[in-house]
Chain A
Amino acid sequence: MARTDFGPPHYTQMLPPVIQRNYGKWKYHERLKPGLLKHVAESGDELYTVRAGSERLLSTDRVREICDIADKYCEGYVRFTSRHNIEFLVSDGSKVEQLIAELRNKGYPVGGTGHSITNIVHTQGWAHCHTPATDASGLVKALMDELYDYFMSWKLPAYCRISLACCLNMCGAVHCSDVAILGIHRKPPKPNHEIIRTKCEIPNVIAACPTGAIRPDPKEKSLIINEKRCMYCGNCYTMCPGLPLADAEGDGVSIWVGGKVSSARTPPAFSRLVIPYLPNNPPRWPETVAAVKNIIETWARHAHKHERMGEWIERIGWDRFFLLTGIPFTEQLIDDFTFATETFRTTPAFKW
């Protein structure tokens, strides 16, 4: 039997020599231009990072191409970021421009550092997930084509982090992003009694419903859904394949804004719902792309320098946000889940 539980390769085997020499001894960094960082160590050693966007879903051929580039310019080392970007680490400054030229030539966008839109963290969508309400890679590709200039430049007031999760399970944990795109269902599950009877642990499925919308059906030895109580989270389906809720007309995307994870200036914050539903419209999802672009450009026009989306909105007020973006305010935007009342206004001081 093969050995097990040996863990990942030790990271020290994967670090370029310049990093091994200066590990923990970096003195400062500069942002030279979009996609290019320069780190300087206490020793005086310099390290240039060229950041390139990737499609995340990579063929082995693409990975080998990345390796070829890293062999040529980076002594055979490369890293990826938490946002699916590729980082080429160059210790010889004279190679940087050549590397950037070659990356551009091969179709890799160089950018995503500083006050830009960086790569969109996303999930599997229709390509490989069993509970999606939308696709992931395709919607991200459509968006990044449209937001390409904001990846390549520093035109924005601050960082902007866009994330996409294709259902409420939120493998992409998009709930603290400047702009979050979240696949949602809008129809209750359709019970398949045969599957429920044979494959599901009924008490566990009942317990899995956060709104108590599921009760036993003794006659069918199955389950009944109280459709009025269902808010389509899909937790029951994750527990039991007999409760599918995907639907071509019901499914689509929702848009959330104003979240962040860093503690800089203001504490980390959740994204808030601003558009409850947009249709799935592959291959280019024009409604979603237009909505995201409108939100980002409205923020970019009005925010102060360094002001993240959520900081800007908190300063001007959500009432003003809806006015400036022209997004219609609907009942779904008023919370009615747990701790909803914390989001209700408790002062008559607000804006018209």
Chain B
Amino acid sequence: MPDSETPLLDELEKGPWPSFVRDMREAAQKKPAAKDLMRQLELSYKEKVGHWKHGGIVGVKGYGGGVIGRYSDRPDLFPNVEMFHTLRVNQPSGWFYTTKALRALCDVWDKHGSGLTNFHGATGDIILLGTTTEHLQLCFDDLAEIGFDLGGSGSCLRTPSACVGPARCEYACIDTLDICHDLTVAYQEQLHRPMFPYKFKIKVAGCPNDCVASIARSDLSVIGTWKGNIQIDEDEVGKYWESGFDIQGEVVDLCPTKCMEWDAHSRTLKINDRECNRCMHCINQMPKALRPGEQRGATILVGGKAPIVQGALLSWVVVPFMKMEPPYGELKDLVNKIFDWWDENAKMRERLGELINRLGMGQFLRATGLRPVPQMIIRPRANPYYFWSAEEVK
């Protein structure tokens, strides 16, 4: 037996968690590219630096994005990954698949690529990892045959994503899958042809639990919420109590607004809904007994992003409540105004949140026609440096 070419990576085949090295090895048995990927990764493990060259622009006809060009910096050692480009493939809303669709994807990828994938990339796309320039168009054509289109890359609208929503979650206050699909289709031009100052992300979450991390990771966060009273099923409350569940300790005492009361004698749970801030804690703990109120919609927030360039931001509330009914005209109207204002005013690589930080929320509100309301802030400003327009000062 010859010694292994990848002794360091081999270590990662041990242990209980599923090993990506096993997958690489399986792919390597069929594809020279996968084998050289392993060998190059082994070199990175030895030298503690990456071995991919910076960038490289490649693509398919008609698109400006969706493909990440990737070239090895050691093609002398690893000729089969001299070119090793990624295709970002737009996932179906909520990451649901038929096995037929998945198998078809695998067939296309075995024909054109390394046989390695990510399910999924951090933004949500299906990632097809590693092919050559000459295979890109052929692969895209075959993907189109089976109904899969590319996602976004570069300074464009990135592939929107959504939580599982009404498909399998009783908390969903909005149809996350439909909103995500509708916006994705409506904004194909912005998705496939980089034309913005930088990337723009949209994520849709069905409730304030935000399982898709929209508040941290998207320039536009759509988060389901409700108005009116939390719906209480008294019988089910009683059953939680009978089962030994500590309603006082685990629910009432942890309510951030202290708007709940539990009376064990009469077995009644009271909620002062006017003081509830809809944080979801009580509903999370007692899903059989408590449900969101009946009047459903979404809170719209903007500006979330990771640190590059000026620092990380969480999304800010700009519309406390918006009804969400197809064709989502009010939302698209807002999105269009945001795209226009950002596109016109942002510097290169300036995300929406950074632009608002630089120019002021006032300018953003005037540009989008949104009305200032107390729900937008935690507390008002503590400095006296504010603007008046000439019209306001007669």
Q: Do A and B come from one complex?
A: yes
Residues of A within 8 A of B (CB): 1-11, 13-16, 19, 23-24, 26-30, 39, 47, 49, 53-64, 66-68, 70-71, 76-82, 84, 86, 89, 107-109, 121-132, 135, 137-138, 141-142, 144-145, 148, 151, 165, 168-176, 204, 207-208, 210, 233-235, 237-239, 241, 244, 246-248, 251, 259, 261-266, 268, 270, 280, 282-284, 305-306, 337-339
Interchain CB contact under 8 A, A80 and B95: yes
Q: Which 3 A-B pairs have the closest CB atoms?
A: A145-B15, A241-B54, A170-B306
Q: Is the CB of B12 within 8 A of A262?
A: no
Given A56-B119, A58-B119, verify A11-B93 contact (CB < 8 Å): yes
Q: Assess whether A176 is in contact with B49, with CB atoms less than 8 Å apart.
A: no
Assembly CA distance A77 to B167 (angstroms): 13
Residues of the A chain whose Cβ atoms lie less than 8 Å from the Cβ of B19: 55, 141
A175 to B215, CA, bound (A): 11
> Is B227 on the interface with A (CB-CB < 8 A)?
no
Which B residues lie within 8 Å of A59 (CB)? Answer: 23-24, 26-27, 34, 115-117
Q: Out of A5, A54, A210, which one reaches B188, CB within 8 Å?
A: A5
State A39–B140 Cα separation when bound (angstroms): 38
Residue of A nearest to B103 (CB): A67
A129-B256 CB under 8 A given contacts A26-B166, A66-B102, A145-B15:
no
> By the criterion CB–CB under 8 Å, are A62 and B140 in contact?
no
Please tell me if the beta carbons of A5 and B149 are within 8 angstroms of each other in the complex: yes
User: How many angstroms between the C-alpha atoms of A47 and B167 in the bound complex?
Assistant: 11
Instruction: Name the distance in Å between A185's Cβ and chain B's nearest Cβ.
Output: 10
Chain B 243-268 per-residue mask, 1 if CB under 8 angstroms from chain A, else 0: 00000011000101000000000000
- Hey, which chain A residues are within 8 Å of B14, CB to CB? 145
Q: Mark B85-112, 1 if CB is under 8 A from A, else 0.
A: 0100011111111111111011001100
Q: Bound complex: CA of A109 vs CA of B19, how far in Å?
A: 11
For the complex, give the distance between the alpha carbons of A248 and B53 in Å. 16
Q: Which residues of A contact B70 (CB under 8 A)?
A: 128, 130
A340 — nearest CB in chain B belongs to which residue? B311
Assess whether B216 is in contact with A268, with CB atoms less than 8 Å apart. Answer: yes
A266 to chain B, nearest CB (A): 7
Give the residue name and chain of the B residue nearest to A304 (CB): B254
Number of A-B contacts (CB under 8 A): 358
B interface, size bucket: 35 or more
Q: B101, A9: Cβ atoms under 8 Å?
A: yes
| A57 engages B23 (CB within 8 Å) | yes
Select from chain B the residue with minimum beta-carbon distance to A130.
B52
Taking CB atoms, residues of chain B closer than 8 Å to A108 are: 18
A-B contact pairs, 19 of them (CB 8 A): A7-B185, A8-B148, A39-B168, A53-B17, A56-B20, A63-B117, A71-B99, A78-B102, A81-B95, A124-B118, A127-B20, A130-B54, A165-B306, A170-B308, A261-B213, A263-B210, A282-B48, A283-B45, A306-B254
Binding site for A on B (CB under 8 A): 8-9, 11-12, 14-24, 26-27, 34, 37, 41, 44-45, 47-55, 61-63, 70, 84, 86, 90-103, 105-106, 109-110, 115-124, 129-130, 137, 140-141, 144, 147-149, 161, 163-164, 166-170, 172, 175, 177-178, 181, 184-185, 188-189, 192, 208-217, 249-250, 254, 256, 278-281, 284-285, 287-288, 306-312, 314, 347-349
Q: Which residues of B lie under 8 Å from residue A57 when comparing CB positions?
A: 20, 23-24, 116-118, 129
Q: Assess the B26–A62 pair: CB atoms within 8 A.
A: yes
Q: How far is the CA of A7 from the CA of B163 in the complex (A)?
A: 18
Q: State in angstroms the CA–CA spacing of A13 and B279 once bound together.
A: 33
Residue of B nearest to A199 (CB): B54
Which chain B residues border A263 with CB–CB below 8 Å?
208-210, 278-280
Most buried by B among A2, A135, A145, A170: A2
Chain B residues within 8 Å of A238, by CB: 308
Question: By CB atoms of chain B within 10 A, which of A168, A235, A244, A262 has the most?
Answer: A262
Contacts of A29 in B (CB 8 A): 169-170, 287
- Complex formed: what's the CA distance from A165 to B217 in Å? 13
Contact (Cβ within 8 A) B348 A262: no
Nearest CB in chain A: distance from B45 CB, A: 4
Q: How far is the CA of A126 from the CA of B78 in the complex (A)?
A: 15
User: Which of chain A's residues have a CB closer than 8 A to the CB of B103?
Assistant: 63-64, 67
Asked if residues B168 and A47 are in contact (CB atoms below 8 Å), the reply is yes
Nearest A residue to B217 via CB reads: A173
Q: Which residue of B lies closest to A7 (CB)?
A: B185
Task: Report the minimal beta-carbon distance from A189 to chain B, rounded to whole angstroms.
Answer: 12
B21 to chain A, nearest CB (A): 8
A13, B115: Cβ atoms closer than 8 Å: no
Are A6 and B52 touching (Cβ within 8 A)? no
Question: Please, which residues of chain A bring their CB within 8 A of the CB of B90?
Answer: 7-8
Smallest beta-carbon distance A298→chain B, Å: 22
Within the complex, the shortest CB–CB distance from A202 to chain B, in Å, comes to 13
Q: Name, among B16, B129, B256, the residue most crowded by chain A CB atoms within 10 Å (CB to CB).
A: B16
The answer for the CA separation of A226 and B193 in the assembled complex, in Å, is: 36
Residues of B within 8 A of A141 (CB): 12, 15, 17, 19-21
B254 touches A84 (CB 8 A): no
Interfacial chain B residues near A283, Cβ < 8 Å: 8-9, 11-12, 45
The answer on a CB contact under 8 Å between A138 and B211 is no
Q: Nearest A residue to B290 by beta-carbon distance?
A: A28
Given contacts A127-B37, A132-B50, 10 further A-B pairs with CB under 8 A are A7-B188, A53-B18, A55-B17, A77-B98, A109-B17, A170-B308, A172-B122, A173-B122, A263-B209, A264-B209
Q: Are B184 and A7 in contact, CB atoms less than 8 angstroms apart?
A: yes
Q: Is the CB of B308 within 8 A of A233?
A: yes
Q: Which residues of B contact A251 (CB under 8 A)?
A: 48-49
Min CB distance A276 to B, Å, is 15
CA distance A126 to B175 in the complex (A): 38
